């Protein structure tokens, strides 16, 4: 019976339409969740830092800011929790071939993630709802497990994703998995670069999105201390992470070059293995190379191998059927890098403006015509961080195609052979569209609403301002 099951598992193939639907559904729900998940990791840290500073300095502006961010956090965490749960269902609903065979190998990081998520949910409940029931210092400490567990959740989940890129920690004999080392599977070689890259990205997305919202308010003339702090605190945090993220991104790309050469070839549009490979920006993939791109001679050889003659492996390593869609992966990669450098430069701009204002003996780095131009661009930092996030995720997932587990199982082998996946996709799209609209409306209302409740989630006591 079991061998029969395994046989079905490998031999079954869904119709192409259903496979496309399953991929679209998984991609869509992941793309949705990844943004709120990042906010779930980064926003608690921002809020906690602000609350801590507010308590230490007694600054009412910072304390108010922390409470208002916490309210948004309550809504975002709820939608993050449910959209994340759906992903664990979808792994089985859409990719039972993957889970039936390799579920046990990647079970451990998910079990650990379950524990971390539990801690996060428990302490978020306490942090949000017991704001006025606990002494301020104790309350501050209840936020710490939320941050730690949020980062830990991100780590464990990305470990599982890294395993799909670098499957390890198990032995196969005659088509059967005969031994599993779950710790080795979890801490696979791709885990370090991927997890660090993702956690930094989460911080940047949360920081720049929050900064964007307050930059809008500043541009509309609401130049209060509240809006200034609301912009500067997250922006500085995001800008401080940006340079590290670029270094980590380079590490991650070199890792991919060494371990998933086909993915790197797709990212950079390298068709033929060889030396003196140019770095191509943009372009469209033709039959044997990128066209219309901007080429920097020997650029890629220098970046990957530190010498102009260094050999870079190309797509010709594998037959065309085993190659990912080059144009999409390449553009996603270039967009991510561009967005990353934009965020870095915005940080540099603020640093220069601050330094010049200081030399002139004080003054507001956000004032004047330069300040206005800066704020206009600063509004774009949040969307840019999200673009970088989504593109980076596209690179790692689309770049692995047609594999779901690199070199071992294709998406076609993993997909649920049941009919009707297309219907499921439409249902999911409708529900997510409604949820997106509602989230945006609720958050917008929240941002413009005046009264601030004592405990962020306790509406019944909101008539009593604390600050």
Site residues for other proteins, 406-425, by CB under 8 A, read 416-421, 424
Place of tokens 């220098």: 302
The residues in 19-38 that bind other proteins, with binding defined as CB under 8 A, are none
Shortest Cβ 61–other proteins spacing (Å): 22
Does 175 participate in binding other proteins (rule CB under 8 A)? no
Catalogue the E-assigned strands of 165-273: 170-173, 176-180
Does 197 participate in binding other proteins (rule CB under 8 A)? no
Burial classification of residue 439, based on how many CB atoms lie within 10 Å of its CB (0-12 exposed, 13-18 middle, 19 or more buried): middle
Q: How many residues bind other proteins (CB under 8 A)?
A: 92
Does 379 participate in binding other proteins (rule CB under 8 A)? no
Considering the complex, state which of residue 83 and residue 212 has its C-beta at the smaller distance from other proteins.
83
Considering the complex, state which of residue 121 and residue 377 has its C-beta at the smaller distance from other proteins.
121
The residues in 428-457 that bind other proteins, with binding defined as CB under 8 A, are 428, 431-432, 435, 438-439, 441-442, 445-446, 449, 454, 457
Instruction: State how far the alpha carbon of 101 is from the alpha carbons of 70, 90, 187, 250, in Å.
Output: 41, 16, 19, 33
Shortest Cβ 48–other proteins spacing (Å): 17
Chain Cα centroid distance, residue 130:
30
- Piece of 77-85, 248-256, 300-308, 332-340 that binds other proteins (CB under 8 A): 77-85
Which residues make Cβ contacts (< 8 Å) with residue 355, sequence separation at least 6? none
Considering the complex, state which of residue 64 and residue 124 has its C-beta at the smaller distance from other proteins.
124
Burial classification of residue 254, based on how many CB atoms lie within 10 Å of its CB (0-12 exposed, 13-18 middle, 19 or more buried): middle
Considering the complex, state which of residue 225 and residue 430 has its C-beta at the smaller distance from other proteins.
430
Nearest to 152 by CA among 123, 184, 182: 123
The residues in 93-132 that bind other proteins, with binding defined as CB under 8 A, are 93, 96-97, 99-105, 107-108, 110-115, 117-119, 121-126, 128-130, 132
Pairwise CA distance, residues 85 & 108, whole Å = 17
- Piece of 70-78, 207-215, 286-294, 354-362 that binds other proteins (CB under 8 A): 70-78
Cis peptide before 189 (omega within 30 of 0): no
Judge whether 76 and 457 are in contact, CB under 8 Å. no
Considering the complex, state which of residue 71 and residue 323 has its C-beta at the smaller distance from other proteins.
71
Does 181 participate in binding other proteins (rule CB under 8 A)? yes
Considering the complex, state which of residue 51 and residue 120 has its C-beta at the smaller distance from other proteins.
120
Q: Which two tokens stand for residue 428?
A: 């999911």
Pairwise CA distance, residues 78 & 202, whole Å = 17
Pick from 88, 168, 327, 406 the residue near other proteins by CB under 8 A: 88
Which residues make Cβ contacts (< 8 Å) with residue 431, sequence separation at least 6? none
- In the beta sheet, which residues pair with residue 171? 179
Considering the complex, state which of residue 124 and residue 241 has its C-beta at the smaller distance from other proteins.
124
Shortest Cβ 327–other proteins spacing (Å): 33
Considering the complex, state which of residue 327 and residue 457 has its C-beta at the smaller distance from other proteins.
457
């Amino acid at each position: 019976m079991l061998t029969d099951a395994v046989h079905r598992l490998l031999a079954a193939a869904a119709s192409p339409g259903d496979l496309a639907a399953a991929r679209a559904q998984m991609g869509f729900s992941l793309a949705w969740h990844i943004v709120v998940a990042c906010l779930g990791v980064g926003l608690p840290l921002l809020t906690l830092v602000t609350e801590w500073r507010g308590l230490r300095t007694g600054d009412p502006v910072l304390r108010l800011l922390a409470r208002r961010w916490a309210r948004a956090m309550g809504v975002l965490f709820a939608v993050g929790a449910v959209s994340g749960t759906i992903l664990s269902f979808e792994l089985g609903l859409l990719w039972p071939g993957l889970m039936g065979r390799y579920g046990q190998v990647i079970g451990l990081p998910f079990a650990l993630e379950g524990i971390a998520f539990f801690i996060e949910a428990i302490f978020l409940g306490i942090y949000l709802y017991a704001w006025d029931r606990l002494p301020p210092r104790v309350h501050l400490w209840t936020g710490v497990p939320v941050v730690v567990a949020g980062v830990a959740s991100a780590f464990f989940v990305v470990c599982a994703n890294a395993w799909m890129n670098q499957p390890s920690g198990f032995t196969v004999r005659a088509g059967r998995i005969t031994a599993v080392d779950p710790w080795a599977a979890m801490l696979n070689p791709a885990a370090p670069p991927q997890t660090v890259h993702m956690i930094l990205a989460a911080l940047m997305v949360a920081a720049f999105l929050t900064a964007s919202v307050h930059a809008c308010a500043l541009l509309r003339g609401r130049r209060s201390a509240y809006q200034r702090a609301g912009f500067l605190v997250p922006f500085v945090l995001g800008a401080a992470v940006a340079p590290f993220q670029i270094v980590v991104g380079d590490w991650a790309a070199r890792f991919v070059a060494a371990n998933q050469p086909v993915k790197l070839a797709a990212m950079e549009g390298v068709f033929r293995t060889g030396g003196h490979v140019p770095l191509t920006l943009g372009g469209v993939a033709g039959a044997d190379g990128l066209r219309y791109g901007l080429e920097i001679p020997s650029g890629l050889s220098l970046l990957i191998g530190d010498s102009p003659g260094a050999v870079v492996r190309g797509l010709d390593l594998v037959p065309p059927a085993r190659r990912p869609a080059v144009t999409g992966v390449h553009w996603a990669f270039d967009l991510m890098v561009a967005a990353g450098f934009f965020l870095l430069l915005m940080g540099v701009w603020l640093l220069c403006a601050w330094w010049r204002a200081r030399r002139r003996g004080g003054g507001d780095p956000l004032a004047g015509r330069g300040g206005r131009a800066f704020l206009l661009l600063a509004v774009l930092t949040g969307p840019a961080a999200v673009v970088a996030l989504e593109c980076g995720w596209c690179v790692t997932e689309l770049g692995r195609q047609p594999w779901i587990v690199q070199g071992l199982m294709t998406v076609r082998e993993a997909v649920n052979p049941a009919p009707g996946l297309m219907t499921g996709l439409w249902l999911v799209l409708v529900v997510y569209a409604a949820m997106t609209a509602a989230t945006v409306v609720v958050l917008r209302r929240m941002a413009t609403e005046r009264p601030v409740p004592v405990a962020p989630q306790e509406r019944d006591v909101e008539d009593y301002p604390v600050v």
